[in-house]
Amino acid sequence: MTHNKPKFAVIGGGSWATAIAKMLCENQEQIAWYMRNEVALEEIRENAHNPNYLSSVEFDVEQLFLTNNINEAVEYADFVIFAIPSAFLSRELDKLTADISDKIVVSAVKGIIPETGLIVGEHFCQTYQLDREQIAVIAGPCHAEEVALERLSYLTIASASETNAQQIADCLKSHYIKVKTTDDVLGVEYTSMLKNIYAVACGMAHGLGYGDNFQAVLMSNAIREMKKFIKKVHKMKRTITGSEYLGDLLVTGYSLFSRNRMFGNMVGKGYTVKSAQMEMNMVAEGYYATKSAYLMNEKLGAKTPIINAVYDILYNNKEPKKVFKKLTDKLN
């Protein structure tokens, strides 16, 4: 179904939600924006910026239908973009009473929902009986901070419906955002989840004092490991060196904006997992993704030494230095 003038709602108040709202406002007369933080909403209404994330971005408040009622935002829109950390998504969806049976649900969530062990698209299909064509995914390589700075960035929209993918792409593109589409929904969504684990590993390596040479080997092995994992989940012909796979992995592993790399770096330097989480005011999705991927892979049986190493450090309290020493012998 093509919407002549599609209406969008953004669900979430973090940096990625703020970046998506900014991109949409380049093309839309109005968007709905839900966040539960009423203080932040008041700040946006009065001062035209999100006080907690990407505060340099100025909005035209006339373009924003701001609400702390998720049902108001969902009822407003044809396309509902969820940009909430996966660990907290269920809590927000518990408040949902609005009918979403005719909505296009767009996941900008880079993780697995812990309660169900499902990626977001699958969760909506199974829980809300949505058709697969009603699901779309927004992927990178793209950091919210660079969107805020209007640095040239690239997005990939994945959907089984080319029409829906193209409509979303048209509403997000601008002079600083280039957008392409793909039908590999599962591959792109699993990449969005797995790359955060590898970015945590990259950060750990840096924190432990490993240099660029090792980081290059680590990332080279990571893309091959990712390919094996995704192939077990959904076998199809895909070019893993494409920017929506390898590009997204590289920017998350290397960028100074990467919260997953930052989190891993702190753990590598000797912070406990708890203290590293408390130090950061943003969620490192890779922490939750590591457990989900590890448990999934017990059934899949892919060879994943990097995921296993990160899991041992984060969940089995193994010494990072010892775990990485063993990991170095498994990489090539």
258 in a known ligand binding site: yes
- CA-derived radius of gyration, the chain: 19
Start-to-end C-alpha separation, the chain: 48
User: How far, in Å, CA of 225 to CA of 81, rounded?
Assistant: 29
102 in a known ligand binding site: no
260 in a known ligand binding site: yes
Q: What are phi and psi of 176, to 5 degrees?
A: -115, 5
Token pair listed for 249: 């992995």
140 in a known ligand binding site: yes
Q: Could you give the maximum distance between any two Cα atoms of the chain, in Å?
A: 58
Strands (E), 120-186: 135-139, 153-159, 177-182
315 in a known ligand binding site: no
User: How far, in Å, CA of 243 to CA of 46, rounded?
Assistant: 39
Residue 318 known to be catalytic: no
53 in a known ligand binding site: yes
User: How far, in Å, CA of 16 to CA of 275, rounded?
Assistant: 24
265 in a known ligand binding site: no
Active-site residue, from 103, 195, 303, 322:
195
34 in a known ligand binding site: no
285 in a known ligand binding site: yes
88 in a known ligand binding site: yes
CA 153 distance to own-chain centroid: 15
Q: Which residues are annotated as a binding site for sn-glycerol 3-phosphate?
A: 110, 140, 195, 248, 258-260
Q: Which residues are annotated as a binding site for NAD(+)?
A: 88, 144, 259
Q: Which residues are annotated as a binding site for substrate?
A: 110, 259-260
**Which residue numbers are catalytic?**
195
Q: Which residues are annotated as a binding site?
A: 15-16, 36, 53, 88, 110, 140, 144, 195, 248, 258-260, 283, 285
